[in-house]
Amino acid sequence: MTDKNNILFLFDRPTEPIFIGKGDENVSFDVPAEYLTDRYKPLASDIENRFSGAGKVIPITKLNRIPDLSFPLSLPRNASFSLFIPYHSKMASKLIETFMDTKSFDELLSLSVYCRDRLNPYMFIYALSVVVTHRPDTRNLELPSHVEMFPNLYMDSSVFSHAREESSVVQPGSRTPIEIPQDYSANDTDIEHRLSYFREDIGINLHHWHWHLVYPYEGPMNIVNKDRRGELFYYMHQQINARYNLERLSNNMNRVVRLNNWRDSITEGYFPKLDNILANRVWPSRPANARLSDINREVEQMSFDIEDLERWRDRLFSAIHSGYIINTAGNQVRLTETDGIDILGNLMEASILSLNPNFYGSLHNFGHDAISFIHDPDNRYLENYGVMGDPATAMRDPIFYRWHAYTDDIFQEFKATIPSYTTQTLGFENVKLQSVEVSATGIPRNEFLTFWQQSDVDLSRGLDFLPRGSVFARFTHLQHAPFNYKITIENNGNQRIGTVRIFLGPKFDERGLPFLFREQRKLFVELDKFSVTLKRGKNDIIRRSIDSTVTIPHEVTYRNLDKNRPSGNTDAAAAFNFCGCGWPQNMLIPKGSSDGFQCQLFVMVSNGANDQVENAHADVHTCDNASSYCGIRNARYPDARSMGYPFDRTPRDGVVTLQQFLTPNMAVQDVRIRFSNRTVAPLQSKIKT
């Protein structure tokens, strides 16, 4: 029986030919001569002699017929590839469909081997990642971390010249990590650089890329059409912006200003300092005060005007205020309290689930495109897109948050049209949340402690045409001390199920004044959500921060497949790819400040009978590490309430402050986030000795 892990070697060193040994053990594929590209076919005999290494040899069965690949092959191997460009996303969708149509794993492996050296490497890796994640016969395999495959998307380009020297001169057991400086894209004369630790964090950029991998907006319908996908698109990005605003307030900065005037100059510049290894070009920069222009990029087959964005925006607002959209058949579809946000999310992006893509367009994606081509809108300088054009790099740019502040504003416009929550819909009869506190070893009660932490990531999987063996980059990121919640709940009824919902929000605005609830509610970030069984009487609940349903553990974010790999294609390894989607645990708590950034911890216990969802089709062995942002694989979203409940709607009449919003099953605790400007060495070295 074929070892399904063999397909994972195709992710190793993406631009090296398939016949060169993969992995540290120099595993090779026995490639049929017909599978070699035209450049290497005349050298088949020489290649077999030179590259048939001493490691394991993976036999490849030649296919009787190669499916039509002309469309995906039309993208050159050295071209940039962006999911936000419709021409590219349709190619990737066709490739995914072709891979998914293979009848067996052996056929999938054989076709993948044939395609690997012919297709654009970035598109190939993306499409195969989607397929491995979603095919029943491969979805228990563990995808390598995207930062290992394409480290050039996540770190300073100067790292790679050092990596070449280290790998060429120093033997694997003696190599030292290459340290990535914290200040490599700008200095503090640019006020936005204060937030570079957040925007350029490897973990949060991996999260954004992985979310779009698990939730592609184009592809086979059974892959795209996940439960409440449009609503999750809204909520995940809303939470990113809320977190970013907490970081800004921590650093004495104003909240994000929406990018709502597309005719005005953009004050923020961004110079990414990244290399685009595949396209053999550096990532373009955007100088301060650049202006958006109409886009006419023939090479990407993309042409649209700023007026198109404005027209789509106006149609979305019109639909919100009229209470319905018009589908492709010309019929009205009501934007209901339950489904309206999901419909709008699919229109906004727009995914293939959009009920009328021609009329409502693709505001979100084309906004990304307009910004990413701002430096060369008509391709006269033959420049590639900027970082806003790729999910793996978009969050690095300050303009990402201004753009999403605007798109979120459209969603908030809809939320304002549906009924506010009443005290009856918020309450939980005979249940009172008496108190909540946060505790951590050696830290004052109700304080969070943050600091800098160093971690290592192995670059060797993405260092093509270099000697084998691990080469590590050492980066510095935000970290917090682990903590526990202690929640006391009084249940004066029978035993029942409750859902505990924990949020963190800022207490004061930029001027130091207490927030009004109508604005503060948009800034609460979800920290955790879990079910509890409430016995009659007093219930003391202890919950660890590392058990959050928002985050994934550090070792999952930066996992290395060559270490601690679960055995084979087993249930123990089930859903690992899906579990790679999630906010990094080290970024759960905002940075705070040295004197203690003042926040409010909100905890609510809602009626579990109204929250629970039947997940009859869920995998038996699955993960819900980050279910709040990523859902659960092959299952409905694990909460019947609206995402962001109870903060997703405008407050009921008479509610001006958070305290006035509270019902007996809620509690608020003032907390401080104290930042210690010290750096902790890596928890443990990953370097092989």
Minimal CA–CA distance to 475: which of 177, 119, 85, 186?
Answer: 177
For residue 640, how many other CB atoms are within 10 A of its CB?
16
Query: Rounded to 5 degrees, what are φ and ψ at 632?
Result: -125, 140
Could you identify the residue written with the tokens 């009856």? Answer: 424
CA 557/CA 581 separation, integer angstroms: 8
Phi first, then psi, for residue 32 (nearest 5°) are -55, 145
Residues 6+ apart with CB under 8 A from 409: 258, 260
- CA distances (Å), origin 220, targets 64, 94, 95, 599: 24, 9, 10, 44
Q: Residues 258, 409: contact at Cβ < 8 Å?
A: yes
Place of tokens 């009328």: 356
Angle, vertex CA 585, rays to CA 206 and CA 435, nearest 5: 145
Count CA within 13 A, CB hemisphere, residue 402.
17
| CA dist 160 → 121, 199, 393, 395, 486 (Å) | 19, 21, 18, 22, 46
Counted residue by residue, the chain has a size of 689
Instruction: Give the end-to-end CA distance of the chain in Å, rounded to a whole number.
Output: 34
* Burial of 499 per CB tally in 10 Å (0-12, 13-18, 19+): buried
Q: Are 196 and 183 in contact (CB under 8 A)?
A: yes
Give the separation between CA 440 and CA 368, rounded to whole angstroms: 41
DSSP 545-560: GGG-SSEE-HHHHT--
Q: In one letter, which amino acid is 154?
A: Y
Whether 166 is catalytic = no
User: b/e per residue, 60-88, with b = 16+ CB within 10 A?
Assistant: beebeeeeebeebeebebebbbbbbbbeb
> What sign does the CA torsion over 310, 313, 319, 322 have?
negative
Helices and strands (H and E) in the chain: how many: 23, 22
Nearest to 203 by CA among 154, 160, 130: 154
Helix runs in 251-335, H state only: 306-322
The candidate with the shortest Cα–Cα distance to 532, out of 637, 648, 619, 431, is 431
- Side-chain-side CA neighbours of residue 541 (13 Å): 28
Measured between alpha carbons, how far is residue 523 from residues 68, 158, 364, 369, 612 in Å? Answer: 49, 37, 21, 27, 26
- Joined together, the tokens standing for residue 177 give 């990590």
Catalytic residue among 349, 490, 555, 614: 349
The Cα-based distances of 124 to 95, 282, 412, 644, 668 in angstroms read: 8, 21, 37, 35, 49
- Name all contacts of 511-516 with Cβ < 8 Å and 24+ positions apart: 514/657, 515/658, 516/656, 516/657
State the catalytic residues: 349
